[in-house]
Every structure is written in C-alpha cells, then in structure tokens.
Amino acid sequence: MAKRKTKFVCQDCGYETAKWMGKCPGCHNWNTLVEEIEITGKPNRHTFSGVSSAGSKPEKITSIESQQEPRITTNLKELNRVLGGGIVPGSLVLIGGDPGIGKSTLLLQVSSQLAEKQHPVLYISGEESTRQTKLRADRLGVNSDLLYVLSETNLLNIANHIEQLNPSLVVIDSIQTIYREEVSSAPGSVSQVRECTSELMRIAKTTGVPIFIVGHVTKEGAIAGPRLLEHMVDAVLYFEGERHHTYRILRGVKNRFGSTNEMGIFEMKEEGLREVMNPSEIFLEERSQGAAGSTVVASMEGTRPVLVEIQALISPSSFGNPRRMATGIDHNRVPLLMAVLEKRVGLMLQNQDAYIKVAGGVKLDEPAIDLAIAISITSSFRDLPTRPDDIFIGEVGLTGEIRRVSRIEQRVQEAAKLGFKRVICPQNNLDGWTTPNNIQVIGVKSVQEALEIGVTR
C-alpha cells in the first residue's frame, strides 16, 4: 500500500531534506525549500501504448546493426546546423532563454515549416490559449492544416493526444506549466519538472517522435529547475541576445547527435526570425576605421569560423584599485593578460582602468582570442590604431609565448573571404598547409614580436 512522506525540496538546485531549513545546504540560497509530499510504495506508472521497459533484453554490441536514421530538416539552415544536421527522430531537445527573446516564435516558425512539408505537428501551449497562439501565428504568416494547436497542462492528456495524432514533431511550451497528477507539488516545482521530463523522454524514445520543450531561465541565466533536467535531455539549446537588439544567437551547449558550442545567428523581424547566413559581415559592418583599441579575431564557434571585433579602452584610474571590466569574455582573462603585458612587454598598466568588450553581443570563450585582446589593450594604452585589414589569432602563455590554435586553415580562409590582407598567428601553426594567395600569414612566437608587427609607433 502506498504511503505518503513529507519532504522539503529546494526549488533552485533540487536538494532534498526531511526538515525545513532557511538556507539550502546545496546552493546556499535562502527560503528556497518548499514542502512536498512523496508517495512511497508500489508506483502506479502510466504506460504509453502498452510498452513496458521490463521486456527489454541486453544485446551484444556486435550484433546491433548500425543504422543512420534520416533527420528531419527545416527551412532554417542555422537551426539545422546547431542541431547537427536536422531534427533526430525520438530526440528530446530543451530550449532555454530569457522571457521575450523569441523562443515561442522560433518554434512556431519551425512547426509551420514542417507542417508545410506534410509533417503533422502538435504545438502544446500551457501558457497561452489557442486563440492567443492563433494571433501570433497570423502575425508570423503561419497557416497550415497539419499544424495542430493544443492548450493543455495535464501530462496524461498530452500523452493521449500524442498517441492519437502520432505527429512528426511535438512542441511543449513550456515544461514549467506541465504537471502529473501523481505528484502532489505545484507545476513548475523541482519534482514536477523532473517527473514530466522523464515521462516525455520515455514517450519520445518509445514512439520515435521528436519533442521540443521550452524551459524558463533564472535571473542568473541558467535553466530553471534541477540541474538534472539538462542531463536527461538529448540536446540543450540557449537562445541568447538583447531584447532591445535585433540579433539573436542560438547556441548548442549539449548535443548527443552533433557538435557542441555550435552557433546560429538570427535577426528578429516583424514577420518573425530570419536567419543570418554570413554573421562575420554583420559583426564587422559598424567597425570604426583607424580607432585605437580595436582588433579583429577569427573565433571558431563549433565548426564555423566567425570574425568578431574586440574593443578595449584603457584610461588612467582615479581609484586606488583599478577597474577591470569585460563583456563577452571571461573577466578573469583580462587581468591575466594585462599582467603578461606588464611583466613581459614592460607596459605600466597597474594604474590603468581596463574595459574590454566583444562587439555584437557575442560570447567568446576559446583561448585563441588571447592575442587579439592583448593587441587591443596595447593599442588603446599607446593610443595607436592597428591596421584595419589585420587579423590576430593565438593563445598567450604566462611567459609571453604565442601557442598554436586549432583549425587555423578555416580561420584564415574566412578572413581572406572578407577582404583582410594579413593574419598574425602562432609560428607553429604555419606548417602542414598552404596559405591562400590573396592574404599574408605572419607567424609570431611571442607577444613582443606580435606587438612590433601589429602596433607600431
């Protein structure tokens, strides 16, 4: 016989305890423990289409046939790129982002495109009525007979509709509004989100229907709910960008069927999202010519090279402790590179405020951007501009050496395609490949050597 057990669960990290505490021992946040009732004993699990996991048997890996399942491709090539080539049947994809960033708009456009290709799509909205969804569909020009809209929050009813309709794609907007009757806690709680996601994962794997679920984010930018949520799904996509800017970035941080850290660029228009095929031109179109502190770096975002402008502003400090601020890069990298410039090059930066920014709202985290940051800092400090047709690529070590980076061929080809004339890169990256004819590739071994070439008095 089932028994009821009371427990307290943290709504931020999922920590469970038998008694209430003001401060969560897991995430150290205050007043996040909420009382929930857990039913112990023999579980009454809902089975979908009579499929039971007890019938599965272990198989030899050598006896399993390798089969490449065809992916479902959309008209948005940027989305296909982030997913690794298209939507994999039976996959569970989690999309997170700030409120109003365009998650529902993107998924409604994708649903319409698949419906026009004769793929039935079930769009389930737990936050909007069907009439509200229809208003947004009219604004986006969405009109297809194979796109079905459902306003439902009960997971059991959703499972029944999926079984009856047998769609090619299911969209859940959002997972925080869905609930299971067996779980006593409120929708959006840790227990509800965990149980509903687990059930949706089982439905996707047993039926082969891909499911997209939308997840809310916290004020820190992480997806709300337990961290276990990101481990349960097959792919995690983050929709980034400023609400008051037109460009949106779809970034894959986890993908079991493709490359991670892949990036897709979209532009928000009145009629919906439009993909940007060449983001390097977008990020560099407003670059000031002859401005001190501005450099361009070729960064790899997944399998695609992207040219981005890095700006630095160095000014004398009026405080005892100089300020070090960074936007778009790790803020700990700025004082590290400034220490290298001060020790190995002789620049007196200890009484200077430093402000570093990646133009265009892009976030860069690879070490190949170190040299461009160092050149920007030096250019602003000396008030000497760099050549507008130079590209700087390389990782900077603590002893001032320039270390090799990956995929130098793709970076140089992207720079040559956009009309840049010189690439300053690590000396060890020059072997084993042929440089393009219309661009000069210069190898350097130290920061001092790179500064002599890129920033001259």
Binding residues for ATP: 97-104
Phi, psi of 264, deg, nearest 5? -125, 140
CB 324 within 8 A of CB 334: yes
CA dist., res. 360 & res. 390, Å (int): 19
Of 244, 238, 306, 243, give the one whose Cα is nearest residue 276: 306
Helix axis angle for 447-454 and 370-382, nearest 10°, is 60
Distance CA 149, CA 136 (A): 12
Residue 403, Cα to own-chain centre: how many angstroms?
Answer: 27
Q: Which residues are annotated as a binding site?
A: 97-104
Q: What are phi and psi of 381, to 5 degrees?
A: -65, -40
Q: Which residues pair with 30 in a beta bridge?
A: 23
In this structure, are residues 402 and 396 in contact, taking their beta carbons and an 8 Å threshold?
yes
Give dist(CA 320, CA 318) in Å, integer. Answer: 7
Q: Which two tokens stand for residue 276?
A: 């940007």
Nearest alpha-carbon partner for 208 in 32, 362, 48: 48
- Asked whether the beta carbons of 19 and 50 are under 8 A apart, the reply is no
Yes or no: say if 425 and 408 are a contact pair by the CB < 8 Å rule: yes
Tokens representing 31 are 């007043």
